[in-house]
Structure 1
Amino acid sequence: MTELPPIPAGLPPETLRRSVDPAQLPFDTTAELADYDEAIGQDRAIEAIRFAIGMRHRGFNLFALGEEGTGRRNLILQYLRGAAAQRPVPDDWAYVDNFAESSRPRALRLPPGRARALERDMDHLVDELIQALPAAFESDEYRGRRRRIEDEQKERQEAAFGAVQEQAAAREVSLIRTPVGLALAPLRNGEVVSPDDFKLLPEDEQDRYRAALEAMQQQLEDVIKRVPRWERDTRARVRELEQEVAAQTIAHLMEDMTGRWADLPAVTAFLDDVARDVAENVAEFIGNGEDGEARTAPPRRRRHHGPDGHFRRYRVNVLVNNETVAGAPVVLETYPTQPNIIGRVEHIAQFGALITDFNLIKPGALHRANGGYLVMDARKLLMNPFAWEDLKRALRAREIRIESPGQSLGLMSTLSLEPEPIPLDLKVVLIGDPMLYYLLSHHDPEFSDLFKVAADFDWRMERSSGNTLLLARSVATLARKEGLRPLERGAVARVIEQASRDVGDAARLSTHMASLADLVREADYWAGEDDAPLIAGRHVDRAISASIYRQDRVRDSVQAEIRDGTVHVETAGEVIGQINGLAVLELGRFSFGRPSRITARVRLGKGDVIDIEREVLLSGPLHGKGVLILSSFLSARFGVEKPLSLTATLVFEQSYGGIEGDSASSTELYALLSALAEAPIRQNLAVTGSVDQFGRVQAIGGVNEKIEGFFDLCRARGLDGSHGVLIPATNAGHLMLRQDVVDACARGLFSVFPIATIDQGIELLTGVPAGGMDSRGRFPPGSINRRVAARLATFARRAEEMGAPRQVAVVARSGG
């Protein structure tokens, strides 16, 4: 016969909570401890961060995955800033006008700190040009040379018309001026012949005058046709004069500036373009002449963008200024929209239209971090339209190309700027939760090529003496940085215990430093309420209790409904097919245990185990899996030689919400065995744990909250020493129960039983031996397993008698 392990006794009180003896801590207060700014328990993540920082090849960007509050951001920034301090300061970047094609501004790369100097020099140059050029055109030399050009034009015209006048006089034709221009008329005896008098002249004389008029008209027209050309020549000579004067003035003003920037060919080329453009558009500087007309013809282009008009094109738009920077930049972009990452082109409303120029190009985080490191929250990045795709495009092309979303998608046809791309060389660090990292890895084929390094932050660490001391030093550092009171070692002991409680494992500590920091801050508040100079253990306890009290209204409501009978959960007596299960409800970061009544009913049927929760779509796939597993166990133990001819139903009574997880599968199996064996279950016990196909009870989560949930109910009704909870034996090392639960167990008022197998559990719940199978496949008389087998055999006989179809296995039905 198979021997069953003995029914376990309740766990001793000292195993229910792994306490910290304050006397074992090597300090009296945290004021004695040295600062510790490093992350605790994150060796794997630190190694990944160091590798990503040191690897300069393409695509080795970093994704830091882990829970919020584990110190991911602070640790990453700490290492990045340390590495950035050892790297050279990156170059400055600026945009200037492309005088050949203004819609495509040019990017200038300058040594660190020199972009702002170029901007100041250009502003000063424009100011000087505005003053010097008008002065140059007001000089006597310029006026004299221009007057000579204009006089030559007048003399040429006068000479040409004088020649026509002389020839006309020789032919007895007069050149006269009329309101509509020049005209020719016959001349006789020094007098102009009127039209009426002309008609009285002899025909031969009229013909002679007509021939002379036609000949002179042709000469006059020839002269008039040459006048516009002469005027163009004059204007060209004036323009050449102005450009010559402007060039001399510009050359004088730019001589020193060109010398200062001679070491940068790109800048000197830009200055040459500026000089040519100023000379070509000198009228924009000198204004109008004395007659109110422009001194020259309109310049070949005028651009009036902004309050200072055309002079804006000579400015320098500094995008990145590293004048005061030491080392490489480390940029934390907290709002990673597409414009905030790659930059944008702004517009100015002017006369009802939106206009822009290169001065309205604004930098993004990629510009500011170029040559260094850029840190962003992955979730926020993905939530902003176009930001993720444009970031990937920039990393792939290794250049920053400023485009609006409409341009990048080909949806915008209006004329806009197309700034010259800027080369990109930086390391990007994304911070996000693990699920986001795995989703990107699976669904985005480019992600793995661009983010080759993952820094996996753990949410827990080993509870060793070394880590305990490091945690104490971290608490001491926090207290000093934030001006909190020092902690007594008793308070530190309570913080360490809470760190284990947070992860639900007595052998580990939480690395969620944000929660522990909040605990210390609140303990400091309560110490202040007591006017205490130090934070004591009672202040930490009060902080924990107060934090729970602020969040446990729902828990109190649930407990009250059970206590007053609105929700039926029994804690005394025995009932067939009914058992107390335990679940955990989570409200934000607060979770609590909730007892539930689980019932099972059996009858003759076709081998179905019906999960009512699943049938009505109130359970998740993991809960359905648990029911299938318990069905397999039942079939393997009792349906090998004969088919199971039963129908069983399982349900969480008075459950009106969703149920997920397999932690109730052993509980449901106990209820089903009780219903089949017609053996009542003790209602003063509650059960949690999943089961495998071999009947082994497996570990579950939230064991502390589940135990405490049933304990609170039993205490409210009165503890009598019979109450307790069955937990998986593998969960025994995870216990970090509240002190009041431990004290009740020490007084024998409550028990926690570690269960390894279903047989152990059913014996404890019913008080009836489970019974092991002998070599002939039979169970001992009177045992639970024998009674179950007999009941199933009865069902099988009745099914045969009724001609019911036989089933070869138990099948748990699913919803639908």
Structure 2
Amino acid sequence: MWKQVSKEDREKRKVPVERLRVQTPPEAFPCETTEQIEPLREGIIGQDRAVRAMDFGLKVQKAGYNLYVAGPPGTGRTTYTRAKAKQAARNKPTPADWCYVYNFSRPDHPLALRFPAGEGREFKTRMDELLRDVEREIRKIFSGEDYQKHRRFIMQNFEKRAQEIWKQMDQLARELNFSLERVPEGGIATIPLMFGKPLSNEDFARLPDESRQEIKEKSKRLEQEVTESVRQIQLLEKEVEQEVSRLNKDSVRQVLKHLFEPLWETYTEEKIRKYLQDYQEDIIENHHLFKEDDGTENPMARLLQRNEENNLQRYRVNVLVDNGQLSGAPVVFENNPTYYNLFGRVEYRSTFGAMTTDFTMIKPGALHMANGGYLIVQIAELLRNPLSWHVLKRMLKNESLRIENLSEEHGLIATSGLKPEAIPLNVKVILLGNPYVYHLLSELDEDFPKLFKVKVEFDTDMKKDERHYHEFAGFVRSYCEKEGLLPFHRSALAALLDYSARLAGDQRKLTTNFHHLTRLLVEASFWAEEEGAEVVEARHVEEALAEQEYRANRMDEKMRELIEEGTIMVDVTGEKVGQINGLAVLQTGDYTFGQPHRITARTFIGRQGIINIERETSLSGQFHHKGLLILSGYLAGKFAQDKPLPLSASITFEQTYSRIDGDSASSTELYALLSSLSGIPIRQGIAVTGSVNQFGEIQPIGGVNEKIEGFFAVCKAMGFTGEQGVIIPHQNVKNLMLRPEVVEAVEAGRFHIWQVRTIEEGIEILTGVKAGTCDEHGQYEPGTLFGEVNKRLARMFSSIKEDSADLVIDVDAQAMQKLIESEGGEKSEDK
């Protein structure tokens, strides 16, 4: 007979009802409703470490002290980061404006000019007005009487001198009996005369040789004189052009002098004054660009005129960054951190079939807008653009912001490229991401620890204490005001805190994931409004939770139906050898539920050890493999001290066709193996969860509430017997926040929850048989479960030992016979 476990021993391992769920008393809130509570205007709840790190990171102004804000979504990290950055930005000076202007010495390298905040736009306005004034005044002087008088004087003087030269040529021609005529090609022809009339070719041919020779010599002399005279006239024309140009430049310079005087007085910075000087000299050199349209309708002339208008673009100002409307430093949140969105771009236009650009088409990026302040970026989005990440690091290291076009670098289009002057970069970059990415970057990217020295880590839970009660109530008040929700009664606040503790998975803590809580606030307020209530009470919170579950638990109900009808085989009554109910957690979207699984074990003589069927079929993960190896270590340490473990066994999760991972079922699998080895049945009304170490100590697991509630729902559907329940690790008692329905069933004795510390305690609850202890000779008490296991293993060992001995004898006999035969002996049974 087996030694039975007393009822008292089983009872003392039950979890007390009061520890199954810790409820917050409504009296913890002094005010009746949230209307009487001071709203939470600033700060964040339960993130003291993150708050201190954030304050430090935003205040320190040294290179490399950029921030990485780590934490799961829903903890308020993004909202808090933006709020703190804006708060810090209010106390910082407003950064400068930046303008790009034409570089008159190197046109493909636009200049970057710096102005105090708000003065960049003013500079552009003044330069636009200057350009209009210049155009008006230049046209005015060129059409003025004084200018025309001076120009006429120069031209008249030229014509007079040209006429004198022409007269001298004409006089010499007459003396040599020649006449001069202009030809259509633009030259001057010398024609000999005879008797005052032009000499024809026929008449010239009939002349004597001496006369012809004389005429040729005279013609040669005259042509030389004509050439010299033409050269003198050309020189005179150049001189006139220079005189006219000098007149034009002097006239323009005189006009520009009074137009530029206000700018010289306003702008004293050397770089700006140098730009204004070059600007002025370029206008003087290119004053023809400002002349009036002659009214021609010639298409080509119109096209050339339009090209001249484009040339006036050089006198424009491109205000790249205008901080005139800011008060303090900028805070920029870039949702789509592509290369161009971060670092700016140079845009292009199509001109005569080619892509061209100029400095007015330089566009800023988020870094330009955040320069002097804060740039906030989601690291996941940034890493989706690898080039953005590498260029961001380079610019932070160089503290310089340069605009470069990727299309030029990769030669995608024919362009007229620009290389804008780099702008000094002084920005604090704040990355938002999860801790896993932080650790990856720290390990794999050598630049990351140098550039992002401040880690701001948001926790997933906070202590459940009075301070956080009040802060939570203030948060609810402020959120209700913001979203226009009904006020919450203190009973509803208590229900919210209980739900928060369940999300945290700890009776002593509250979750900091406010995404789920704000969703519950909205839905509880909705159901209160539907009822016509003026205040949200606890029942409305419970109704909202029930509705949330109903909308999401279709899969849970379908699985439970399959168990009820026997399609998925799970026994909740009776006893079976080598069969046990394990508990798993499944998740569909944002809904998590527990489901029982039948786990079976078969043991037999052999040397293969424990075969994990899931592993053999590639349906098992690494953590599950580890759990089975630990299980093997426990068995070997417990029962193989005086003999080898002659064991082959197979373990499987029945009717599971998806991947299984985690070690939370390792104790369950061990219980099934012990049952199979001992032949002692396991009560099927008890489900088990918990991992085990090599010493047989039960270790905590996750999802304990969902696992218990999943098995409870199956037992409820198939009928309570009063013997059903769940065994959990004792460390998980603090994680229990079970639904009131489960607590009521435990209190009524219909359902039970046991806590265990060791395999021995668990197997005694499952079988009702004492586990047994080992004496100094390595023997277990007869009638105990371990005694039965040890007895079975001893029989297995004896059996396999006998088989091995027979095999050795048989092998030795065969070897002897072969030796005799090799020596020429006879086959003989005697020999």
TM-score bracket for the superposition, by shorter chain length: over 0.9
User: Structure 2 CA distance, aligned partners of 1:191 and 1:247?
Assistant: 56
Post-superposition Cα deviations, 1:619-663, rounded to whole Å, max 9, x if no partner, equal 111110000001000000001110011101110000100011000
Q: Indicate the residue corresponding to 2:27 in structure 1.
A: 23
Aligned residues: 795
Q: Indicate the residue corresponding to 1:196 in structure 2.
A: 202
Letter in 1 for 2:39: D
Instruction: Give, in angstroms, the shift of residue 25 of structure 1.
Output: 2.1
Q: 2:95 aligned to 90, 93, 116, which one?
A: 90
Post-superposition Cα deviations, 1:521-548, rounded to whole Å, max 9, x if no partner, equal 1111111111111111111111111111
Q: Indicate the residue corresponding to 2:167 in structure 1.
A: 162
Q: Indicate the residue corresponding to 1:452 in structure 2.
A: 453
Q: Does 1:229 align with 2:241?
A: no
Post-superposition Cα deviations, 1:546-597, rounded to whole Å, max 9, x if no partner, equal 1111111111111111111111111111110000000001223221101101
User: Structure 2 CA distance, aligned partners of 1:526 and 1:451?
Assistant: 46
Letter in 2 for 1:21: P
Q: Indicate the residue corresponding to 2:272 in structure 1.
A: 267
Asked if the contact 2:356/2:415 (under 8 Å) is kept, the reply is: no
Post-superposition Cα deviations, 1:168-196, rounded to whole Å, max 9, x if no partner, equal 21122222334444211222333332222
- Secondary structure of 1:803's aligned partner: helix
Asked if the contact 1:606/1:805 (under 8 Å) is kept, the reply is: no
Instruction: Give, in angstroms, the shift of residue 516 of structure 1.
Output: 0.8
- Secondary structure of 2:752's aligned partner: strand
Deviates more, 1:149-158 or 1:406-415: 406-415
User: Structure 2 CA distance, aligned partners of 1:390 and 1:541?
Assistant: 51
User: Structure 1 CA distance, aligned partners of 2:152 and 2:344?
Assistant: 52
Instruction: Give, in angstroms, the shift of residue 678 of structure 1.
Output: 0.7
Letter in 2 for 1:325: L
Letter in 1 for 2:248: E
Post-superposition Cα deviations, 1:298-329, rounded to whole Å, max 9, x if no partner, equal xxx99949xx5222211111111111211111
User: Structure 2 CA distance, aligned partners of 1:800 and 1:441?
Assistant: 56
Deviates more, 1:620-629 or 1:82-91: 82-91
Instruction: Give, in angstroms, the shift of residue 63 of structure 1.
Output: 0.1
Asked if the contact 2:357/2:416 (under 8 Å) is kept, the reply is: no
Residues 804, 158 of structure 1: alpha-carbon distance in 2 compared, 3 angstrom cutoff:
farther
Instruction: Give, in angstroms, the shift of residue 26 of structure 1.
Output: 1.3
Asked if the contact 1:315/1:359 (under 8 Å) is kept, the reply is: yes
Residues 302, 419 of structure 1: alpha-carbon distance in 2 compared, 3 angstrom cutoff:
farther
Post-superposition Cα deviations, 1:417-436, rounded to whole Å, max 9, x if no partner, equal 11100000111100001111
Residues 388, 410 of structure 1: alpha-carbon distance in 2 compared, 3 angstrom cutoff:
farther
- Aligned pairs for 1:650-799 (under 5 A) are 650-799=651-800
Q: Indicate the residue corresponding to 2:17 in structure 1.
A: 13
Deviates more, 1:703-712 or 1:467-476: 467-476
Letter in 2 for 1:17: R
- Aligned pairs for 1:286-325 (under 5 A) are 286-287=291-292, 304=307, 309-325=310-326
User: Structure 2 CA distance, aligned partners of 1:292 and 1:524?
Assistant: 74
Residues 292, 803 of structure 1: alpha-carbon distance in 2 compared, 3 angstrom cutoff:
closer
Letter in 2 for 1:96: V
| Cα-Cα RMSD | 2.2
Q: Indicate the residue corresponding to 1:809 in structure 2.
A: none
Instruction: Give, in angstroms, the shift of residue 407 of structure 1.
Output: 5.0
Residues 226, 794 of structure 1: alpha-carbon distance in 2 compared, 3 angstrom cutoff:
farther
Q: Indicate the residue corresponding to 2:499 in structure 1.
A: 498
User: Structure 1 CA distance, aligned partners of 2:650 and 2:315?
Assistant: 84
- Aligned pairs for 1:413-424 (under 5 A) are 414-424=415-425
Q: Does 1:387 align with 2:388?
A: yes
Q: Indicate the residue corresponding to 2:822 in structure 1.
A: none
Letter in 2 for 1:238: V
Letter in 2 for 1:25: F
Instruction: Give, in angstroms, the shift of residue 288 of structure 1.
Output: 5.8
Asked if the contact 2:13/2:756 (under 8 Å) is kept, the reply is: no
Q: 2:86 aligned to 73, 81, 93, which one?
A: 81
Residues 557, 399 of structure 1: alpha-carbon distance in 2 compared, 3 angstrom cutoff:
same
Letter in 2 for 1:525: F
Asked if the contact 2:603/2:649 (under 8 Å) is kept, the reply is: yes
Post-superposition Cα deviations, 1:326-360, rounded to whole Å, max 9, x if no partner, equal 11111111111111111111112344332211111
Letter in 1 for 2:767: T
Deviates more, 1:220-229 or 1:122-131: 220-229
Structure 2: where are the runs of 5+ without partners?
808-831
- Secondary structure of 2:432's aligned partner: strand
Residues 805, 45 of structure 1: alpha-carbon distance in 2 compared, 3 angstrom cutoff:
farther
Letter in 1 for 2:639: F
Instruction: Give, in angstroms, the shift of residue 223 of structure 1.
Output: 2.3
Q: Indicate the residue corresponding to 1:38 in structure 2.
A: 43
Residues 291, 339 of structure 1: alpha-carbon distance in 2 compared, 3 angstrom cutoff:
closer
- Aligned pairs for 1:473-484 (under 5 A) are 473-484=474-485
Residues 408, 71 of structure 1: alpha-carbon distance in 2 compared, 3 angstrom cutoff:
farther
User: Structure 2 CA distance, aligned partners of 1:83 and 1:781?
Assistant: 75
Instruction: Give, in angstroms, the shift of residue 792 of structure 1.
Output: 0.7
Q: Indicate the residue corresponding to 1:813 in structure 2.
A: none
Post-superposition Cα deviations, 1:363-394, rounded to whole Å, max 9, x if no partner, equal 11111111111111110111124111111111
- Secondary structure of 1:505's aligned partner: coil
Q: Indicate the residue corresponding to 1:123 in structure 2.
A: 128
- Give the % identical residues: 41
Q: Does 1:139 align with 2:144?
A: yes
Q: Indicate the residue corresponding to 1:812 in structure 2.
A: none
- Secondary structure of 1:582's aligned partner: strand
User: Structure 1 CA distance, aligned partners of 2:223 and 2:575?
Assistant: 135
Q: Indicate the residue corresponding to 2:344 in structure 1.
A: 343
Letter in 2 for 1:625: K
User: Structure 2 CA distance, aligned partners of 1:355 and 1:734?
Assistant: 67
User: Structure 1 CA distance, aligned partners of 2:223 and 2:24?
Assistant: 122
Asked if the contact 2:356/2:416 (under 8 Å) is kept, the reply is: no
Instruction: Give, in angstroms, the shift of residue 668 of structure 1.
Output: 0.3
Letter in 2 for 1:120: T
Letter in 2 for 1:643: P
Instruction: Give, in angstroms, the shift of residue 225 of structure 1.
Output: 3.5
Instruction: Give, in angstroms, the shift of residue 91 of structure 1.
Output: 0.9
User: Structure 1 CA distance, aligned partners of 2:131 and 2:416?
Assistant: 28
User: Structure 2 CA distance, aligned partners of 1:538 and 1:350?
Assistant: 71
User: Structure 1 CA distance, aligned partners of 2:426 and 2:663?
Assistant: 50
Post-superposition Cα deviations, 1:222-261, rounded to whole Å, max 9, x if no partner, equal 2233444333332232222222221122222222233222
Letter in 2 for 1:161: W
Asked if the contact 2:330/2:373 (under 8 Å) is kept, the reply is: yes
Deviates more, 1:461-470 or 1:349-358: 349-358
Q: Indicate the residue corresponding to 2:248 in structure 1.
A: 242
TM-score after normalising by structure 1: 0.94
Deviates more, 1:488-497 or 1:718-727: 718-727
Q: Indicate the residue corresponding to 1:56 in structure 2.
A: 61
Asked if the contact 1:6/1:760 (under 8 Å) is kept, the reply is: no
- Secondary structure of 2:771's aligned partner: coil
User: Structure 2 CA distance, aligned partners of 1:511 and 1:69?
Assistant: 8
User: Structure 1 CA distance, aligned partners of 2:806 and 2:97?
Assistant: 85
Structure 1: where are the runs of 5+ without partners?
807-816
User: Structure 1 CA distance, aligned partners of 2:704 and 2:449?
Assistant: 38
- Secondary structure of 1:640's aligned partner: coil
Residues 329, 145 of structure 1: alpha-carbon distance in 2 compared, 3 angstrom cutoff:
same
Letter in 2 for 1:156: R
Asked if the contact 2:29/2:469 (under 8 Å) is kept, the reply is: no
User: Structure 1 CA distance, aligned partners of 2:690 and 2:247?
Assistant: 99
Deviates more, 1:112-121 or 1:82-91: 82-91
User: Structure 2 CA distance, aligned partners of 1:617 and 1:648?
Assistant: 18
Q: 2:119 aligned to 109, 114, 119, which one?
A: 114
- Secondary structure of 1:669's aligned partner: helix
- Secondary structure of 2:599's aligned partner: strand
